[in-house]
Structures are given as structure tokens and as C-alpha cells.
Amino acid sequence: GAVVSQHPSWVICKSGTSVKIECRSLDFQATTMFWYRQFPKQSLMLMATSNEGSKATYEQGVEKDKFLINHASLTLSTLTVTSAHPEDSSFYICSARGGVNGELFFGEGSRLTVL
Amino acid sequence: SQKIEQNSEALNIQEGKTATLTCNYTNYSPAYLQWYRQDPGRGPVFLLLIRENEKEKRKERLKVTFDTTLKQSLFHITASQPADSATYLCAPHASGGSYIPTFGRGTSLIVHP
């Protein structure tokens, strides 16, 4: 099946620094990718829809200046957490529609810990 | 607003039994419903998709039902194994390729040997 690769799988950073997470569709082209955040024992919360060649669409309550999304090619979307703070510590997951029925393929997730 | 409800408490069953997980939704009429499996610290993996005009869908030991009147989907795993232990997520959605995927909280299944 389709493969989505996410990198890094975990990252620890100091408060105030920026962190970039990459999401790649390895064997298919994804004009749309989705970024989620997940806290322990909680559901996947959609943060934004990343559209190739255009601006991302952010969900209500998600700061677009803090979570910068770039989808410069059909196989790569990046999420940059700017000026990270401890409350940004979470599990970030990307996905793309890759199946004939619109099923989603997810990356492995990135665990961000901000000290 | 649209709401997706899954049993928040973990489901504990004995190996070999059938596990049944429930997904209820309110305030919308999805044309499709997807089920995913998520292991701790990993991204979800797609399992099955069922359309509104299909009452039942099977894949190996998995069976999904979709009752649009009750606004409910049931997810069954027969002859369950400890390796089936995971969190299972449902995602009802509209038709076409432009839907925005949202998920229930998921139900944790624990299969005891």
C-alpha cells in the first residue's frame, strides 16, 4: 500500500527554538496532506490541511504563525513549530489520501518534547 | 456540531473471543465510514472502509457494519489474538475525495492470552 514517511520520529528541543517536521509520500503524489496533534489517550486533532502550491487551511484555534506549514511539492509537506514552548510538546502526525476510496495513509508520527 | 463517539473505556477480552467495538456519530450523514488501528506511539493504519449502501464488510477476521438509521458502526474482530491489542479509531466522512478526515477518540482493545 501507499507509504507516508515522517521525520524525525522524535525530537527534544529547548523552549524558544523552532522545530521542523517533514512528511513525505514515498510512492504516490499527494496534493493534500493533513497534520494532526495527539495528546496521550486523546483523539487525533486535526490542525491543518496542507495544499500543494497554496496556503494551508488551519482549523479553528490553531495559530498559523506558530505552526507554519509548507507544501512545496506533491510529495513533501513540512510543519514548523516556531518558538516552541513546553505546552507544544505532543505527538504530531501527518497523513495523505492515497487509496482509491479516499483512505488515509499516516506517517509514523513525531514525538516533540520541549524543555 | 458533528460528533463521533467511541467507548472511552478499554475493552478487555479473552483470546479467541469476538471483540465488538462501537462507533456512534451525530449531526451529520456520512457516506463512508473508515476504521483504523493505532498502536502506542505510532500513526494509525487503515483497516476497512464501508459505504452507506453497504450493510456489512468483511476482511479476514474483521467485520464492519454500518447502520445509517442508528448512526452507528460496529467493528468486530473474530478469534481475537493478543496481537490485536491496540486502539481502534473510526472516521465517518462525506463522499468524494475532498472530505476532511476527523476521528473518534478510539477504543482501546486488550486481548488477554
What's the per-residue H, E or C state across B28-46? CCCCEEEEEEECCCCCCEE
pLDDT of residue B44: 94
pLDDT of residue B96: 62
Contacting residues of A for B99, CB less than 8 Å apart: 102
* Residue A104 to residue B34, Cβ atoms within 8 A: yes
pLDDT of residue B27: 87
User: How many Cβ atoms are within 10 Å of A36's Cβ, its own excluded?
Assistant: 25
Contacting residues of A for B49, CB less than 8 Å apart: 99, 101-103
- In this complex, which of B46, B104, B106 lies closest to A104 when CB atoms are compared? B46
Residue B34 distance to chain A (closest CA, Å): 7
pLDDT digits (tens, 9 = 90+) for A19-48: 999 999 998 888 889 999 999 888 899 999
Side-chain half-sphere of A41: how many Cα atoms within 13 Å? 6
Query: Helices (H) and strands (E) in chain A — how many of each?
Result: 0, 11
Nearest CA in chain A to B51: A101
CA distance A4 to B57: 26
Nearest to A95 by CA among B58, B59, B93: B93
Q: How far lies A102's CA from each of A84, B36, B84, B90, in Å? A: 33, 13, 24, 14
CA distance A52 to A43: 26
Arithmetic mean of pLDDT over chain B: 92
Residue B111 distance to chain A (closest CA, Å): 18
- The sign of the CA dihedral A95, B43, B10, B64 is positive
Mean pLDDT of B5-26: 94
**For residue B92, cis peptide bond before it (omega within 30 degrees of 0):** no
Q: With a CB-CB cutoff of 8 Å, which residues 91-110 of chain B face chain A?
A: 91, 93, 96-97, 99-106
Contacting residues of A for B45, CB less than 8 Å apart: 106
* Residue A104 to residue B45, Cβ atoms within 8 A: no
Query: Helices (H) and strands (E) in chain B — how many of each?
Result: 0, 10
Burial of B34 (0-12, 13-18, 19+ CB in 10 A): buried
Mean pLDDT of B23-32: 89
Strand order in the sheet with B72-77: B3-6, B19-26, B72-77, B62-67, B56-59
- Using the predicted structure, report yes or no on whether residue A76 has a pLDDT greater than 80: yes
pLDDT of residue B97: 62
pLDDT of residue B28: 82
Nearest to B32 by CA among B103, B92, B107: B92
In degrees, rounded to 5, the angle at the alpha carbon of residue B20 between the alpha carbons of residues B64 and A96 is 50
Residue A16 distance to chain B (closest CA, Å): 25
- The sign of the CA dihedral B27, B38, A24, A81 is positive
- Using the predicted structure, report yes or no on whether residue A98 has a pLDDT greater than 80: no
